Amino acid sequence: MSVNPSPAPPLRDARIVILGGGPSGLAVARLLQARGVPALVLERDAGPHARTQGGSLDLTEDGGQHAVREMGLQDEFTALSRPHGQTLRILDTAARTLLDIDQTDFEKSRPEIDRITLRQILLDALPGGTVRWSTTVTGLTPLPGRGYRVELPDGTGVDADLVIGCDGIGSCARPLRTPVRPTYCGVTFIRGDIARPDPASFVARRVGEGSMFAIGVNKAVLAQRNGDGSIHVYVALRTDEDPSRSRGSAVRDEEKLLAELHALLDGWSPEIHAILDQADGGFSYWPLHTVPTHQEWSPHRGLTLVGDAAHVMPPFTGQGVNMALLDALELVDALTGRPSDIDGAIASYEAAMLHRMAGVVAEANAAGDHLLSADGPAALLSDFGATA
């Protein structure tokens, strides 16, 4: 027997559950809270410092920075961000500098901030108890009439009138909106860290306060400075097979991996090889995924997606977090602009978001083709109006 859908409660009376306590989920919570609407965030991490949270992010003026201003957190962001993090050196396989870019070469400001730092700014702006830590969501079950039971591993659940999926590429909410899953885009990053780089080392001098790209044919070694002085290192490879599917995400035999990487970089400068040997271990695989540029979602009441859960893309344009924060702002604007029509607000948000993201995803995929090219660094240099 079918159950007639119940009308949505007004926004202020709705039980709102946000899946995921990353930047996008916390941004949604902060924006709702600032407008007098409480929400509960469910996060699987044991606490805010459970893991490193990844590398540095650059926030654009009309993307992430715009959302930060709307959250009332501009001063906190300005105090902890790094404008000099925009610097970039592009090298060839012989370690020769082909292009040296600093923040004055960019038309608009894109200061860097560590992901963990941005997360802490957002957490500090939320009332205590907003985030429920150590909470893994195993699924969503529609309730009779309206709403969802957010299922937890112990068999209990949290009932919600509105679920906002901010839980990344493996979102348990996404299958309710579309059968299309993110797909591997043919590029894998192997990442590690240099916790305390020697200031006189080649990598520290070339990275400076920003980033360094050493580019070969369909492969690259990337290095990025973090706010604590450490350096993230990534070996980017174009490969048809996602190695994490057979090997797992964490690297178990690091000596074997290093030997494989050195072999892949055969003929490259010894200074670039040395970057890999300076990493402190803890290597992991990061296969990159994307979604179709034009997505079709099925209508669904009281449920929507934000950030990577909605539109994961390769990180080559740095737009992932910017679009996620913009999603959060546009969703909350829609909800609070139509507080008696949650489903209408969601439909309006999604139509605009999916239209906006079509071009952004296409640009990210194209940027990856330029970074990892059969022509080596030439394609990327052309983006900056330069040649090798």
Annotated binding site for FAD: 58, 115, 308
Q: At what angle do helices 254-264 and 270-278 cross, to 10 degrees?
A: 160
Q: In what order do the strands lie in the sheet with 148-151?
A: 139-142, 148-151, 157-160
Distance CA 262, CA 324 (A): 36
H or E element, residue 190: strand 183-194
- Identify whether the C-beta of residue 24 lies closer than 8 Å to the C-beta of residue 168: no
Q: Which residues contact 263 (CB under 8 A, 6 or more apart)?
A: none
Distance CA 311, CA 376 (A): 28
Amino acid at 187: V
Distance CA 324, CA 274 (A): 36
The annotation places the binding site at: 51, 58, 115, 308
The annotation places the binding site for NADPH at: 51
Distance CA 347, CA 343 (A): 6
Query: H helices of the chain, where?
Result: 23-34, 64-70, 74-80, 115-124, 202-207, 244-247, 254-264, 270-278, 308-311, 320-337, 342-371, 378-383
Q: Which residues contact 313 (CB under 8 A, 6 or more apart)?
A: 289, 290, 291, 319, 320, 360, 361, 364, 365
244, two tokens = 């994490």
What are 235's strand-pairing partners? 190, 221
For residue 8, the Cα-to-chain-centroid distance in whole angstroms is 31
- Identify whether the C-beta of residue 59 lies closer than 8 Å to the C-beta of residue 65: yes
Going by the DSSP 8-state scheme, the letter that residue 181 receives in this structure is P
- Identify whether the C-beta of residue 219 lies closer than 8 Å to the C-beta of residue 263: no
Q: Which residues contact 340 (CB under 8 A, 6 or more apart)?
A: 10, 11
Q: Which residues contact 168 (CB under 8 A, 6 or more apart)?
A: 20, 22, 307, 308, 309, 312
- Identify whether the C-beta of residue 311 lies closer than 8 Å to the C-beta of residue 290: no
